Amino acid sequence: MNRAKRLKPLPDLIRNYNFTTAVIGTSEVAISSALTLAQAGLEVFWFPRTQKPPVEILDHPNVHSFGGFSIKELSGTLGNFHIIAESEDSRQIMTVGSVILDEKLPGRTVSSSMQDMGVPGIPFFYPGSTAISGLFLAEPPGINVSNRKKGAAAAAQAAAIMPREPRHNKGYTVVVDESLCRSCGRCIRVCPYQAVTLHRNAIDGWAAWVDETLCKGCGNCISACPTNAVDSPYRNQEFLEQTLEKILLT
């Protein structure tokens, strides 16, 4: 009990989120998603394929329509997606928290799948969800319900995944030693939670970086790293040696 009282808590990481949802497409499913979110009091950026979208959408105060814009690039993850959209005479760069798609994006293939009964998967996919946290497909294959229900389901998933306040993470996480990282990208390919990205390091090169609020501590990146640059700040060799020393000496 005395030793437990002296233990220090792990750092409490906080990540601020954008709470706007982007709905891309003009189908009945997309309209249902946008209206469901708007009626729930959430802000929606809607990107229809036509310049004259339905009036029922335009009249809602929570829906901001970008008719005539085409999506040129989509990147990011839950709480921090970046959308580059262009029209004939302007270019917009917007940040949103989640994205609902009902169409294909140029140069990007997004697929959705469900876990088979009795077969474990990482991560578990609900209907319409993808491997990218916060990105949903409005019309997932193999779901035989009405378009309105599909749209409402996609909206419910997007609303449910967004936290009501900045998200905290106190669990098992990993960090990258930039002096050892050679930016091979293996950790990015094996991460099922899109928590690892590349960023510029101090010598103007590239190094992996882990968003600790998205990291679930599965350890895939640790096992895939060829230079041992990835490790846990709370369970690495130095931490274990210090813990054992304190236990043995106390």
All structural domains of the chain, each given as residue ranges with its CATH number in brackets, are: 14-161 (3.50.50.60), 171-249 (3.30.70.20)
Cis peptide before 123 (omega within 30 of 0): yes
The predicted-structure confidence for 174-229, as pLDDT tens digits, reads as follows 888 888 999 898 998 888 777 888 888 878 889 998 876 677 778 888 889 999 89
Q: Which residue has the higher pLDDT, 1 or 136?
A: 136
- The pLDDT score that the predictor gives to residue 23 is 92
pTM attached to this predicted model: 0.59
Identify which of 201, 239, 208, 238 has the alpha carbon closest to the alpha carbon of residue 224.
208
Residue type, position 145, single letter = V
